[in-house]
Homo-oligomer: A and B are copies of this chain.
């Protein structure tokens, strides 16, 4: 008999963002209110930098010649890209990361999801609340969730993240084995400083826990001394995996390329106590279940490290940051509680009127034609908040702000 993975029964039937897409599709279909401006999107508005486009066209031309053709690449990624990342993103910033510790993938979401393959179902997981939902759903699929009660899984530890604790949760009182940290944070836009991150690295070292550090938005950090990599914290290489993406730096959401850093110091244990490096396990997983990211995408990603590429990434992230700051200012002036919009493309705002997340979402959609993401979808602590992003164009963002001014 075809027996399926029972953990799927524990999942909410529809992924949050799919649900929102459907409501927005209905809004557009009706075509009655204002033309929709999307401030909910976690997707960049492009275009991709010309440096990357040029490199990708060259890569296609190479593949179309007998001499330049490339077939299967290394499952861990091409050396040219692993070297660039090691040098430019780490070594030049004073962090010792070796190219063999860098695995190129087809995006952060895939690596985040597939990482569960190498970890035991017994691991106890901690997430922030609110959180990017995939951290939880990935672990539900893998069977680390326990039972769902009042919207929470009893085997998952939820770490409250709110204005009271400056979006830097307290350490858990129980011992957890895997901790997801995202900074700059999705959805709250909050950014952890050195002391806050060090607290987690120390906890993980003490309890031999694993930190999965989602650093997809590090390119948005402008404030000096805010860590862009968890490896800026001493000892982090023993306990932390870092996941990054070219989606929010090179507009690669449709191109698909990212990378995962697994330092060789991180040791996991089999049930019999035998140690094994996570680097070796992930390499084994990838050589079995993955065939490398597209050569074209990897060539495009490499171009983002060229002089021109760096400048283009900076311009793109500057524009998005400016949008986010303008959104932040709108809500702050209106007396909302706001975080994000500084060092982060996300803005997280709570109205002073007692509106629920969904009420706020509905109001802004129906009265302004502006879509946001209801904060409650990211966890209990998100109730009352909405998430907005700076990823749309400046024109659209300015127009959305103008429309919302009268309502917020």
Contact = CB atoms under 8 A, between A and B. Distances in A.
A60 B53 contact: yes
Contacts of A43: 71-72
Interface string A97-120: 000000000110110111001111
Residues of A in contact with B, size category: 35 or more
B70 A109 contact: no
A399 interface: no
A293 interface: yes
Given A15-B287, A270-B9, A294-B296, A119 B4 contact: yes
A367 interface: no
A305 interface: no
Interface string A135-150: 0011001000000000
A119 B1 contact: no
A338 interface: no
B2 A208 contact: yes
A2 B210 contact: yes
B63 A45 contact: no
Given A1-B207, A278-B2, A45 B60 contact: no
A44 interface: yes
Nearest to A288: B137
A311 to B, nearest CB: 16
A276 B1 CA distance: 13
Contact of A56 (B47, B60, B68, B208): B60
Number of identical protomers: 2
A123 B210 CA distance: 31
Given A71-B251, A294-B296, A2 B267 contact: yes
A266 interface: yes
A134 interface: yes
A193 interface: no
Contacts of A255: 63, 294-296
A125 to B, nearest CB: 12
Contacts of A1: 177, 207-209, 269
A66 interface: yes
Given A71-B45, A71-B254, A284 B5 contact: no
- A-B pairs with lowest CB-CB distance, top 8: A113-B289, A46-B69, A3-B120, A53-B64, A43-B71, A4-B268, A2-B268, A71-B253
Given A3-B119, A3-B123, A117-B141, 14 more contacts: A2-B208, A3-B268, A3-B271, A5-B118, A5-B119, A5-B120, A5-B121, A41-B71, A42-B72, A43-B72, A53-B61, A106-B106, A106-B294, A110-B289
